[in-house]
Chain A
Amino acid sequence: MNLQVDNVIAGYQEGIDILNNISLMVKPESVAIIIGPNGAGKSTLLKTIYGFLRPRSGAIRFGDRGIATMPPHEIKHLGISYIPQEFNIFPQLTVEQNLRMGAWIFRNDKARLARQLDHTYEIFPALKRFSKTRANTLSGGQLRMLSIAKEVMTSPKLMLVDEPTAGLSPKVATEAYEFLIQTQRALKSAMLLVDHNMEEAIELADYVYVVDMGRVRVHGPRSEFDAARLRQIIQDCLLGV
């Protein structure tokens, strides 16, 4: 199913728009990346798609369903998962309890839950070793892994991923990209990725959106972009060119 964002205007406070008529599309099983300078509205866009922020105008569609006014828990049921920038885990619960919470929407289907847990442990074998460990004792890389694993328990059709490498060391950041791409391929899901780490993130992408001042400034298939061109575009954004 396509994710289609059309002319969306949104913001946190009345009279201040962070997203200004932004439009984009993510095709099934593809990876689209959003890059742009700080304050461009990248994270706000993901929050708006996932229902944490209601657009003032414009439309957001997933397949043939309008989702612009849906709350997050309903959007989850449609097969969309959101992986926020912060470690999105429950620190006092064990790793396995975190994963089970990720499977909330099919909690009564015990067979599916067991299958999905096995599948998740296959993708993230390191988590199995810590299954009975409280999440607050894990390292940064393991917490990132758990944040991703928890959200993909539902085998989403679309993953919204916000700055997956923020605050991570370069080595752990590379691992985080590996978790992500491994998951996306295993699940055959689409991914809309916001990242500041251009060189590594662009390697994952099929399509690139450069966002500035709440709207898409440039977009195209990855083949049209290399890191040098992207750096130049970002520099132009920052200089207001």
Chain B
Amino acid sequence: MTITPELLLNFTIAGLMIGVLYALMALGITFIYSIMKMINWAMGEFYMLGSYVQWALVVFLLGADYWFVGIIGSMILVFVVGLIVQRVLISPMFTSGMERRDEYGTVVTIALSLFLRNLMTVLSGPDTRTPGRFLPPVTLGTLPVSGDRFAAFVGALLLIFLFYLLLNYTWVGMAFKASSQNRVGVQTAGINILRIDQAAFAIGVMLAAAAGALLAPVFLVYPSNGAIATVKGFEIIIIGGMGSIPGAVLGAIALGLTESLGSVFISSGLRDVFGFVLLIIILLIKPTGLFGERERLS
């Protein structure tokens, strides 16, 4: 294949688009980690729940014309599920004064991921589903893009922007940032840290659900469709630096571009390998990731 500047530009745009979608997933993972210092291994299953809710709402209730209402519905529903899961399964680790609560919390999310995946297999069967196509193709420059993929890209950009506004221009956002830096400090300021944990978990899983719902018409809907998204999400937060919000966004774009350009210059069959190569290079050069900081233990 001859690589022309036009082709390169097209693949760069494609890489940016998928990178922004990866960013949603990575933001959710890193946001939860930055507040609670625990890793939510069930993020892929919340992505899967988001895609199923979108599929169910569009197919049984809303119809394809109101797909965007389905996105909001998926996010709200998974947000509520996140609140309940955090309150019932995770919060007890953080209120009983136990040591290594973050590690126990992480183990709970591994169990939760297996539970949710199997629950969905029982409820919906192993079949793959699709809510159908919502939008006609669009052309970006000379690059023809699926309308649904472009809508997912725009939706992801919008959500990242709203998340940025929440973190930087609201009291709650400042409380989230403060909680990630000093948990005792927020409690002495009069903030209920358990509420912060609960809200952070619910927002984090809601972002994953948004990614699942936005990509439901692009990728198929089935019980283990969140597995790849989870792997990409973790690759990104290691590339960007654990707990770093800018790192998650830039890491996601770096991964998207690497995969896309690697597909052009080397082989599209090795697409998923390129991310790991990038990850290894970053770890060799900067083991804490692009924006991560070495933890200081006194």
Residues of chain B lying within 8 A (CB to CB) of residue A93: 174, 177-178, 181
CB of B193 closer than 8 Å to a CB of A: yes
CB of B4 closer than 8 Å to a CB of A: no
Are A73 and B181 within 8 A (Cβ)? no
Are A72 and B188 within 8 A (Cβ)? yes
A97 to chain B, nearest CB (A): 6
- What CA separation (Å) do A105 and B171 show in the bound complex? 11
Within 8 A of B (CB), among A130-160: 150-151, 154
CB of A120 closer than 8 Å to a CB of B: no
- What CA separation (Å) do A38 and B193 show in the bound complex? 30
With A101-B175, A101-B178 already in contact, the answer to whether A73 and B191 are too (CB < 8 A) is: yes
- What CA separation (Å) do A122 and B175 show in the bound complex? 25
CB of B184 closer than 8 Å to a CB of A: yes
Q: Is the interface of B mostly helix, strand, loop or mixed?
A: helix
With A73-B193, A107-B171 already in contact, the answer to whether A90 and B177 are too (CB < 8 A) is: yes
Within 8 A of A (CB), among B181-199: 181-182, 184-193
Residues of chain B lying within 8 A (CB to CB) of residue A105: 189-190
Residues of chain A lying within 8 A (CB to CB) of residue B189: 76, 101-102, 104-105, 150-151
Within 8 A of A (CB), among B136-194: 171, 174-175, 177-178, 181-182, 184-193
Are A77 and B190 within 8 A (Cβ)? yes
- What CA separation (Å) do A81 and B187 show in the bound complex? 10
A 80-108 to B, binary, CB cutoff 8 A, 1 in contact else 0: 01111010111111000100111011010
Are A73 and B174 within 8 A (Cβ)? no
- What CA separation (Å) do A91 and B182 show in the bound complex? 8
A125 to chain B, nearest CB (A): 23
Nearest chain-A residue to B185 (Cβ)?
A88
A 200-225 to B, binary, CB cutoff 8 A, 1 in contact else 0: 00000000000000000000000000
Nearest chain-B residue to A160 (Cβ)?
B188
- What CA separation (Å) do A211 and B71 show in the bound complex? 60
Residues of chain A lying within 8 A (CB to CB) of residue B178: 90, 93, 101
Residues of chain A lying within 8 A (CB to CB) of residue B186: 101
Are B184 and A84 within 8 A (Cβ)? yes
Residues of chain A lying within 8 A (CB to CB) of residue B97: 12
CB of A63 closer than 8 Å to a CB of B: no
B197 to chain A, nearest CB (A): 13
Nearest chain-A residue to B186 (Cβ)?
A101
- What CA separation (Å) do A72 and B191 show in the bound complex? 8
A 43-74 to B, binary, CB cutoff 8 A, 1 in contact else 0: 00000001010000000000000000001110
- What CA separation (Å) do A75 and B185 show in the bound complex? 14
B247 to chain A, nearest CB (A): 14
B 5-25 to A, binary, CB cutoff 8 A, 1 in contact else 0: 000000000000000000000
Residues of chain B lying within 8 A (CB to CB) of residue A150: 185, 189
Most buried by A among B97, B171, B174: B174
Are B174 and A82 within 8 A (Cβ)? no
Checking B174, B184, B192 against A101 with a beta-carbon cut-off of 8 angstroms, the contacting residue is: B174
Residues of chain B lying within 8 A (CB to CB) of residue A107: 171
Residues of chain A lying within 8 A (CB to CB) of residue B192: 71, 73
- What CA separation (Å) do A97 and B177 show in the bound complex? 11
Residues of chain A lying within 8 A (CB to CB) of residue B190: 72-73, 76-77, 104-105, 154
- What CA separation (Å) do A82 and B189 show in the bound complex? 9
Residues of chain B lying within 8 A (CB to CB) of residue A71: 187, 192
With A97-B174, A100-B174, A107-B171 already in contact, the answer to whether A90 and B191 are too (CB < 8 A) is: no
B124 to chain A, nearest CB (A): 41
Are A88 and B188 within 8 A (Cβ)? yes
Are A84 and B188 within 8 A (Cβ)? yes
- What CA separation (Å) do A131 and B136 show in the bound complex? 52
A117 to chain B, nearest CB (A): 15
Checking A82, A91, A102 against B181 with a beta-carbon cut-off of 8 angstroms, the contacting residue is: A91
Residues of chain A lying within 8 A (CB to CB) of residue B193: 73
17 contacts between A and B (CB under 8 A): A72-B190, A73-B187, A76-B189, A88-B182, A89-B182, A89-B185, A91-B182, A92-B177, A92-B181, A93-B174, A93-B181, A104-B175, A104-B189, A104-B191, A105-B189, A107-B171, A151-B188
Top 7 nearest A-B pairs by Cβ distance?
A76-B190, A105-B190, A72-B187, A90-B181, A90-B178, A104-B189, A73-B192
**Sample of 6 further A-B pairs with CB below 8 A, known A84-B184, A101-B175, A104-B190:** A71-B192, A88-B185, A93-B181, A101-B186, A107-B171, A154-B190
Binding site for A on B (CB under 8 A): 97, 171, 174-175, 177-178, 181-182, 184-193
